[in-house]
Structure 1
Amino acid sequence: MEPAVFANFVARESIPGSQLSEKPPHPRFRLPLVGDVLTTDFAKPCQRLAEQARELGPVFEQKLFGYPAVIVTGVEAIEEVNDESRWEKHVGHALMKLRPLAGDGLFTAYNSEPNWAKAHAVLAPAFTKSAMADYHAAITGTVRELTDLWSTTAEWIDVPAATNKLTFEIIARAGFSHSFGSLADSNSGSFVEAMVRELSYANRRTDVLPLFEKVFRRADHARHEADLAHAHAVVDDIIEARKHDSHRRYRDILDLMLDSADPETGERLDTVNIRNQILTFLIAGSETSANTIAFALHYLSTRPDIAAGVRAELDERWPTPEFPDIRYDDVAKLRSLRRVIDETLRLWPTGPGYFRRAKHDTTLCGRYRFAKKDWVLVLLLGAHRDPAWGHDADQFNPTDFCPTTFAACRPASTNPSAPAPALASVASSRTTKSPSPSRHFCTSSTWNPTRNMTSTCAKPSPSSPRVCAFEHVVDVVRRRSDRSPVEANLHQSV
C-alpha cells in the first residue's frame, strides 16, 4: 500500500468521551470548525506531520473539520502503545476504505471478526523459515525475468511501474502458483493495473464530503466498481481452479488456506475470506516492496561510495558476469545490501504509520488519559527520524544498521500487528536488488502527477558488462538534480 493512503486518515474518526488529564499540544493558528487547515499540507500530509512532531513533541493532536487525531512519534510513547496488554490493532478510516476490496483479510479485519484470529492461525506455517525457502525459487526466477528484459530493451523504463508488476508476479507465483502474465507482455497487466487504480481510488476518495464524490467523481466511482468486480472475479477464478485441480501438486499458501483448519477450533477459512487474504497479500506485499526497491535505487544512485560497497559484496560472492545463483541462505549474508534496505525503510517506510486503539481506559506518557477504544496514529515517518537515531537522522546512512550503532540507539519502530505479508516483502526486496548491480543502466527521475507516485525512468545500455549499474545512475541523477529536486519528487506522494 502506497504511503498516500494515510492522507485522509482523520476523516470520520473521533475520540468520543475522552477526558485527557492534559491536552496534547496542537499546531498554531487553529480555527473554529475547520481546525488545523492552515498548518496542514494536504499534498504531503505525513511529511508535514513529521515536521510538526519536531516542534510539538512526541505526542500531539491534529484536528480537521471537527475530527481530532492524536499523533505519536516518540520512542517511549510508541513502546507504550505497542504494549499488547493495553493497546490493540485499530482499523483506521484509511484502512476502512480498502474494506470493499480486501474485506476481512488480515490487513483490514476488525479485531472482533472471527476470521481475524482464524486466519492468523491458519497462515502461521506460511512464514516459517522452511516456507520462506520454498518461495525463493519463484522470487529469483521472476527477478531474473525482469533483469533479462531490462538488459535487452532499448526503451526508457518506468521503474516503479516495472517493480510493481514484478512484485505482483512474485507474490502470485510464490504464494499461489499463478502468473498474471509475462513481465515482457504489455497486455498482461490488466489485473495489476486494476489493483493499482483501486489503491489510488482509496487514497483519494473524499468520504468526508460524500456529495462531492457523487457529483464530481461519477466516472471514478464507475471505474472503481468495475475494477473491484474485476479483481474479485480474477481471484475467485484462481481459487475455483485450484479447488477443482485433482492433482494438487503446488502445496503453496493457497493450498494451505484451502486444506488447513484453525488448530484450536477446527474451522476452515471460507472461500470469500480466502479471496480476501489473497488480495491482502497482493496489497500489503506488492507496492510496498516495489517502492522500497525504487527508493533504494535512488539512494544508491546518489551515494556512489555506498553503491561501491554493495557492488564489492556482490562481486566477492558472484565474480562472474552471469546472473548470480542466489540461494536462500545467501540472502541473509548480504549484510551491506540488507543495511541499504533497512535504511531505506527507515527514511521512507512502506506505510507511514499504523493505528493503535486502547483496550481499556489507560494513560500515555503519564500525562494523557485515553478511554477505551480511543485511538492514535503511530507516525513511523516521524518516529524513524527521532533524535534517538542521532543528529543526522534525516540523512541516508546505512551504517545506522551496523550492529554496534543499532544496539546503541535501539529505537522503537515495530508494529506488533503488522500483517504477515510484510515478512515476504523484505525477502523479495533483498533478492530483487542482488543482481541489479550486474546490469548497466542510466536513469532519470521525473514526477508523474497523474499517478501521485514516483516515476523513476531507467534506460538500459546496449551492453551489459560486469560494472555497477549505479555508476551511470549517479551521473545522470546529479546532472538532472541541478534542474529539479529529484529526492523531493520521489517523496512527493508520502
Structure 2
Amino acid sequence: MTAAAPLPVHVPLVTRPMGLWASLQASRRNVLSIIPAIATRQPMVSGRTGKRWHMVMDPGAIRRVLLEEVDNYPKSLVTKNLLRPAIGESLFIAEGAHWRWQRRAAAPVFSHRNVMNLAPIMTAAAERSCARIAKAGPRAVDMAEDMVRTTFDVIAEVTFSGDGTFDADAVHGAIDAYIAEAGKISLFDLLGFPDWVPRPGRVISGGAVNQMKRVADEAVEARRERGRDGVPDLLDLLLEGEDPKTKRQMNTAELRDNLLTFIVAGHETTALTLAWSLYLCAFDQEVQDRARDEIQGVLGDRACTGEDVEHLPYIRQIIDEALRLYPPAGMISRTAMADDTLCGREVKRGDTVILPIYALHRSHLLWDEPDAFRPERFADRKAIDRYAYLPFGDGPRICIGASFAIQEAVIILATLLNRYRFTPVKGRDPDPVMILTLRPEGGVWLEAEAI
C-alpha cells in the first residue's frame, strides 16, 4: 500500500465544541481555528457563542446571502467596528444607497483599459523583486516579506504616482499597526456590545490612524489643485469619477477613505496570494516545472507584461488554487436583518451568518481531494459552482479590484518563476494564521536558484 502524498500546510480545525472564553482565546490567535472540522463535511453548522451564529457552506444558501437577499445580510457589526475607524464609510463598509453611488462612481476606475495601463508598474516591481533576490545571494529569502514590499511598490505607484506628496510607507505602517491591535477579535464584539463601548486595542492605535488620515487629506487636496500629469493613476481616476445616476463626486474625506481601502486591500491580499503561490510551487516541483515550460514558451527570457497575462493560463490556475487553499479573507460575516431560512434551518433577526470561505474551499461535498494542491482543477472554470469558490466574494459587493489583483499576481509570479527555481527550506514551513487576513506566519522561506 503506497503512502498518501504529502499535503501543503493547513489550519487544524476544531473537533469539539468551544465555549465563549475558549473561542475568544482561539480567535485572538487564529480566527480560523474556531471553525469546526465538521464544517468541511456539512452544508451548514449552527451554534451560540455569546450570540447565535450560523456557518454556511452551501453554495445555494451563500448565493441567497450575497446576491438574492443582499440587503437583508449587511456586513456584520464586528467587521464594521473593526475597520470603520481606519477606512470610514468607504466602499468596504458602506451599505445601501451610500454604497451604491460610490460603487457606480468607482467602477470605471478598474476598467480593463485602466488596469492594462498600469501593467508596466507591475512589471517593473517584479523586476525589482528579482534584483533583490539576486542581491541576497545563496541565502534563503522570506518571499512573504518580499511580496509585501513588491505589491506595496505597485499600490503606492498606481495610487499616487510616486509624486512625493504622500508618505506611502507611513500610511502602510499606521494601517498595519492598527490592524495588529484592532484586528484581534474583541470579547466585546463576540458579546455583541454596542459600538460606543471603547475597544482597548482601537483606542491605543487610533492616534496613528488619525495622523495618517490628515496626511492623506493633504495629498488629495494637493492633487486636486495641481491636476493630472501623464498616465492617470487611481487618485486621478477617482477625482474624475462621478456617479452616472446622481452626478455626485467624492469629496476629500470619501476619496481618502476609499484610497486607504485600496492601499490596504490592494497590496496585502495580492502579496499573500503570491507568497502562498510561491510556497505551493516550491512544495510541488512538478507544478513549478510545468509552469516554467509555459512561461518560457510565451516570454522567452523577458519579464511578463500585461499583454502576456491571457497567454499564461496555467499560471492563472496556480494562483486560483492558491486562493482556494489560502483565501486572504478566510472568513466573512453578515448580520441577518430579518428572519429567514437557509438550508432548511431557521435564521433569526440579529443572528450572525458566517461564510467560512476557508472551510467552503476545502469542503468534501464540493471538491475532490480538497486539501491537495491541484491547479489543473481550474482548467475548466465553468465546471466549478460559482458560489463554491469565493476568493473575492460575489454578488454586487464582489471585490472591485479583482481583475487588477489577478493581473498583478500573474505578472509577478510569471516573472519570478522565469528567473528562479524555488525550493523550500527544511523545517521552515509557514503557519496559516488569520487575524484579519490569512497570513503565512513565520514567513515563506525559500531558496532561489537562478535559471
Correspondent of 2:354 among 363, 377, 384: 377
Specify the alignment match of 2:406 in structure 1. Answer: 426
Q: Does the 8 A contact of 2:88 with 2:257 survive in 1? A: yes
Change (3 A) 1:440 1:29: closer
Q: Is residue 118 of structure 2 the alignment partner of residue 105 of structure 1?
A: no
Q: Is residue 445 of structure 2 the alignment partner of residue 457 of structure 1?
A: yes
Displacement of 1:43 in angstroms is 2.9
Distance between the aligned counterparts of 2:326 and 2:107, measured in 1?
28
Q: Does the 8 A contact of 1:353 with 1:378 survive in 2? A: yes
The percent identity for this pair of structures is 22
Q: For 2:91, what is the secondary structure of its paired residue?
A: coil
Q: Is residue 244 of structure 2 the alignment partner of residue 263 of structure 1?
A: yes
Listed as ranges, the matches of 1:50-449 within 5 Å are 51-54=37-40, 57-64=42-49, 66-85=50-69, 87-111=72-96, 114=98, 116-154=99-137, 157-178=141-162, 189-204=169-184, 206=186, 208=188, 224-246=205-227, 248-320=229-301, 323-324=302-303, 326-358=304-336, 360-371=338-349, 374-403=351-380, 407=383, 412-414=388-390, 415-416=394-395, 417-437=397-417, 438-439=419-420, 444=425, 445=428
Flag the structure with larger Rg. Answer: 1
Change (3 A) 1:193 1:443: farther
Distance between the aligned counterparts of 2:25 and 2:172, measured in 1?
36
Q: Does the 8 A contact of 2:334 with 2:353 survive in 1? A: yes
Listed as ranges, the matches of 1:41-52 within 5 Å are 43-49=29-35, 51-52=37-38
Q: For 2:183, what is the secondary structure of its paired residue?
A: helix
Q: Does the 8 A contact of 1:135 with 1:175 survive in 2? A: no
Displacement of 1:40 in angstroms is 5.9
Distance between the aligned counterparts of 1:61 and 1:367, measured in 2?
9
Displacement of 1:109 in angstroms is 1.8
Displacement of 1:312 in angstroms is 0.3
Q: For 1:385, what is the secondary structure of its paired residue?
A: coil
Aligned AA (2:344): G
Aligned AA (1:69): W
Q: Does the 8 A contact of 2:28 with 2:185 survive in 1? A: no
Displacement of 1:458 in angstroms is 4.2
Q: Higher relative CO (CA 8 A, sep ≥ 6), structure 1 or 2? A: 2
Distance between the aligned counterparts of 2:51 and 2:360, measured in 1?
23
Displacement of 1:132 in angstroms is 1.4
Displacement of 1:411 in angstroms is 5.5
Give the alignment's TM-score, normalised by structure 2: 0.81
Aligned AA (1:403): D
1:360-405 deviation per Cα after TM superposition (whole angstroms, max 9, x unaligned): 443212332443x64411111111112244441111111111118x
Distance between the aligned counterparts of 1:39 and 1:194, measured in 2?
25
Superposed CA RMSD in Å reads: 3.4
Q: Does the 8 A contact of 1:59 with 1:77 survive in 2? A: no
1:25-55 deviation per Cα after TM superposition (whole angstroms, max 9, x unaligned): x986566xx4874996653332441513146
Distance between the aligned counterparts of 2:67 and 2:30, measured in 1?
30
> After the TM superposition, which of the residue ranges 123-132 and 449-458 deviates more from structure 2?
449-458
Specify the alignment match of 2:5 in structure 1. Answer: none
Q: Does the 8 A contact of 1:293 with 1:433 survive in 2? A: yes
> After the TM superposition, which of the residue ranges 304-313 and 247-256 deviates more from structure 2?
247-256
Change (3 A) 1:453 1:231: farther
Unaligned stretches of 5+ residues in structure 1:
1-25, 182-186, 211-216, 468-494
Q: Does the 8 A contact of 1:342 with 1:401 survive in 2? A: yes
Distance between the aligned counterparts of 1:111 and 1:409, measured in 2?
27
Change (3 A) 1:272 1:247: closer
